[in-house]
Structure 1
């Protein structure tokens, strides 16, 4: 039986199912939930090309737009992690949480190694449609590269 389990989470139903599965199946293990933000989602959300000083949409400085979006994103991530902690507490399970930034599959694998986990539980996918085809499946990439067994939850 696994003693240390990593659960990458986002705001998808599959992610919530993965956390619920881990809380039920690995309730005696040390559980760690992480959320990884791809920095491209913050930069891309400004809608401004590199080198531009003023956003065409808002007329404000790029730095202002970036800071506003970054702050909003950090708030959303903390809300997501707080919800995971509440759900774990309701299940009577201790849960450590961590917010990370970087390439999502790479950060998940690095976190699994850093936390010395012996199991990874991940939702089947957070993206749908064309974005999943274009960007690939995080779960698939993690499963292929993980140094530990991976449970993919639908």
Structure 2
């Protein structure tokens, strides 16, 4: 029986579809939405601005809140509550590291960075990595 589900979310339609799938397919499960913000580096524009923030944790939560609000909007019609957690770092690694705390991961087949060359593939890089390395079952949603 699936009691705890991790749903990684970003700004993509596939991520929303994954949350909707989890809500509809597992009506009695506890669902946690995870949004991962990239770690600060010189090569990543969005994450670099986080490094300059006075309160790094508050800046991460602020970035994640827009995704969490969209997730809460999807749950409102279903009279469901979700837990939310923000992570920092590489999305696939962050998801895999947390996956063992859950019974399954429900993830969108492509994330917000789909486009360019990834349009040619059936599964995005993060989803593929999670499906291969997660210690629990992974459901890919398109």
**Fold match, TM over 0.5?**
yes
- What pairs with 1:2-151 in structure 2 (closer than 5 Å)? 2-40=2-40, 44-45=44-45, 66-67=52-53, 74-113=61-100, 116-126=101-111, 127-130=113-116, 132=118, 137-151=125-139
Tell which structure's C-alpha radius of gyration is larger. Answer: 1
Q: Secondary structure at the match of 1:35?
A: strand
Q: CA separation of 1:41/1:79 partners in 2, compared to 1, >3 Å: closer, same or farther?
A: farther
Give the drift of 1:131: 6.3
In structure 1, runs of 5+ residues without a counterpart are: 49-62
| Deviation digits for residues 33-83 of structure 1 (CA, Å, limit 9, x no counterpart) | 10011115786217x9xxxxxxxxxxxxxx899339x77765342111122
Per the normalisation by structure 1, the TM-score is 0.74
* Count of residues in correspondence between the two structures: 134
- Indicate conservation of the 8 Å contact 1:85/1:97, yes or no: no
RMSD (Å) for aligned C-alpha atoms: 2.9
Q: Secondary structure at the match of 1:39?
A: coil
- Indicate conservation of the 8 Å contact 2:60/2:86, yes or no: no
Per the normalisation by structure 2, the TM-score is 0.80
| Deviation digits for residues 4-57 of structure 1 (CA, Å, limit 9, x no counterpart) | 1100000000001001111111120011110011115786217x9xxxxxxxxx
Deviates more, 1:76-85 or 1:143-152: 76-85
Give the drift of 1:85: 2.0
Q: CA separation of 1:27/1:41 partners in 2, compared to 1, >3 Å: closer, same or farther?
A: farther
Rounded to whole Å, the distance in 2 between the matches of 1:32 and 1:75 is 18
Q: CA separation of 1:20/1:99 partners in 2, compared to 1, >3 Å: closer, same or farther?
A: same
